[in-house]
Structure 1
């Protein structure tokens, strides 16, 4: 994702290997010339050689056991290994500092020629490394900078935020939803706004109160922030954090919660309604396959529901009646282009029209979000 700049994107299924010739071998089969068999095996051998020529490093901002952001990326890494048979290595809990350069250099020394760095604050350091190591392919998650051998990748998770907002808006009885947020950067602001607009689409009276933790991974602090929001009258908690701390606060208080990054229902089975989730695996397969095939080109990748990189988890039994139908209809409309969460009219907190009716925000505008929509309570600071 990640840190404090205000600017900053298929599934490939493996076939089944059919084993034959387990019985006796006929004379004709035994008499086949060796070069015929070699020819048949050549493509398979070439694929194996190409895969083994790639070694992939993953750099995480938190532990893979966080149940959220780094966990979701690591599930994608495991899917990559399963689908392409490439070797991968990881480094957990790497701060968003110059330390990421040393980690990347160490991975390159260990033979990595593809590196995924999965936090916004790694961007400038990774850009520098990409210029120092032009033969290595770098992929930076959630940023906006690219070089000849560095791709920026993310997903339109605001679409999933909008859908999860629908569920929360239908569930709240106090019309007050608490939102535990990490850092006031465009990625997080965009998600808060989309969630609020989704909730307001089914409940115009909804207010979303935001509390900043200025952390990505701090389970205790995130939980305390959620408790404070519940104490102020919220009866649903949403979050842009890497742990399930806010979910657990809602569970303990007997209210409701919307998770993020992965399906968090396991952490709060009596509270969780749904979660906005990432599915990184297909993208990682696509990206690494391009390196294997020699077709890699640097790009800014920002796709959404249509690519399967983002979605919401199955609605739980805690979700309100009728929510599934509303979500399905909105999802279909986003996919066919008839619904854009950031199409006007949209007003900001002061009541000023920021997006006129008939217009929609551009990608550039969304990627530099620095204002809240009407209905959000809180400041960007």
Structure 2
């Protein structure tokens, strides 16, 4: 599997067009017979990132495209066993996240060449493993736009709480920071990682410390951050899902991930017999409708017209391909 682990992640930017040109996703070409899909998740389906995959699968199920089942809270040590159980049960497409079990998961996929695996991964596809495709939440476009809004509302001290400093988190933080600097060039950042994907109390305590350090705007990459912001009367920016309904006076806007384009492409490929090793990260891009920013909602009219005009201008350019948000997977640092 060395090829998959040594390939440059920047390869994504060069192969995106080729993925579309390959005919991987014959849009709208769904077979009448639903395929069997299983989701394997290491966290509860309520968790931000996984919830988007789960929602897309439930949407496909409601439309009659798939039969969908799932298992949540699967430990990394148990992950390969669950993969095998679903494969043995005749599932045609297995969706999940293998960030903590890359090698073992690829070994399982190799044992079931007739099963399609679409897995969240930090690494690229391996052509020698044709039944495993990878994806990721490349929603840096939306993160950048929310950063512009955040920068316009902050005094210049921004706190950022993440789970782990892995590419999937780092690129969103960097894009957000770039957006903040667009509106507030001298902004400073407090950056911290809690070492967990789901530990709201720890995220909350980390956010409290940042507020004590002067932060008046928080980037809520993890659950718990917006709770701290709400208690202390500062603002927050959401990530992956829209949480303004829970924090109407706190969460200004969110960068939303839409997994439907990714899953639809995989379903179509399985149904047409064209599923192959590929990088489905492309379908998270804004121009593919894989991400967006939420409506301002309760903050409508509280963000300047000038700021929103800039956001609209940048979004139009992103969708047109004339403006590119940098993909930076390096660990962000406090400034």
Q: Smaller-chain TM-score range?
A: 0.7 to 0.9
Q: Which of 63, 72, 75 is the equivalent residue of 2:52?
A: 72
Equivalence for 1:207: 188
Secondary structure of the corresponding residue to residue 138 of structure 1: strand
Q: Which of 130, 143, 165 is the equivalent residue of 2:122?
A: 143
Structure 2 residue 165 is the aligned partner of structure 1 residue 168: no
Q: Using the alignment, how far apart are the partners of 1:155 and 1:90 within structure 2? A: 20
Q: Using the alignment, how far apart are the partners of 1:75 and 1:129 within structure 2? A: 26
Shift of 1:220: 0.9
How many residue pairs get matched?
A: 308
Question: Is this contact kept in 1: 2:122–2:168, CA < 8 A?
Answer: no
Q: Which of 191, 199, 209 is the equivalent residue of 2:172?
A: 191
Structure 2 residue 260 is the aligned partner of structure 1 residue 281: yes
Distance 1:315 1:296, change over 3 A: same
Q: Which of 358, 362, 370 is the equivalent residue of 2:330?
A: 370
Q: Using the alignment, how far apart are the partners of 1:271 and 1:315 within structure 2? A: 11
Shift of 1:13: 6.9
Question: Is this contact kept in 2: 1:12–1:83, CA < 8 A?
Answer: no
Question: Is this contact kept in 2: 1:13–1:83, CA < 8 A?
Answer: no
Equivalence for 1:336: 320
Secondary structure of the corresponding residue to residue 269 of structure 1: coil
Shift of 1:218: 0.8
The TM-score normalised by the length of structure 2 is 0.85
5+ residue gaps, structure 2, are 13-24
Deviations 1:57-93 (A, max 9, x none): 1011211123x11222211111121234311111111
Shift of 1:123: 2.6
Q: Using the alignment, how far apart are the partners of 1:11 and 1:108 within structure 2? A: 25
Q: Using the alignment, how far apart are the partners of 1:217 and 1:12 within structure 2? A: 35
Q: Using the alignment, how far apart are the partners of 2:325 and 2:145 within structure 1? A: 10
Equivalence for 2:99: 120
Deviations 1:307-340 (A, max 9, x none): 1111111123335222322211111122223322
Shift of 1:247: 1.1
Structure 2 residue 63 is the aligned partner of structure 1 residue 83: yes
Structure 2 residue 139 is the aligned partner of structure 1 residue 157: yes
Shift of 1:154: 2.1
Q: Using the alignment, how far apart are the partners of 1:195 and 1:119 within structure 2? A: 25
Question: Is this contact kept in 2: 1:263–1:277, CA < 8 A?
Answer: yes
Q: Using the alignment, how far apart are the partners of 2:176 and 2:310 within structure 1? A: 14
Shift of 1:177: 0.6
Q: Which of 80, 84, 89 is the equivalent residue of 1:101?
A: 80
Larger Rg: 1
Question: Is this contact kept in 1: 2:118–2:133, CA < 8 A?
Answer: yes
Once superposed, what is the RMSD of the aligned Cα atoms? 2.4
Q: Using the alignment, how far apart are the partners of 2:231 and 2:98 within structure 1? A: 30
Shift of 1:192: 1.5
5+ residue gaps, structure 1, are 15-45, 343-362
Equivalence for 1:23: none
Distance 1:82 1:206, change over 3 A: same
Shift of 1:115: 0.3
Q: Using the alignment, how far apart are the partners of 1:247 and 1:73 within structure 2? A: 22
Secondary structure of the corresponding residue to residue 302 of structure 1: helix
Q: Using the alignment, how far apart are the partners of 2:276 and 2:293 within structure 1? A: 30
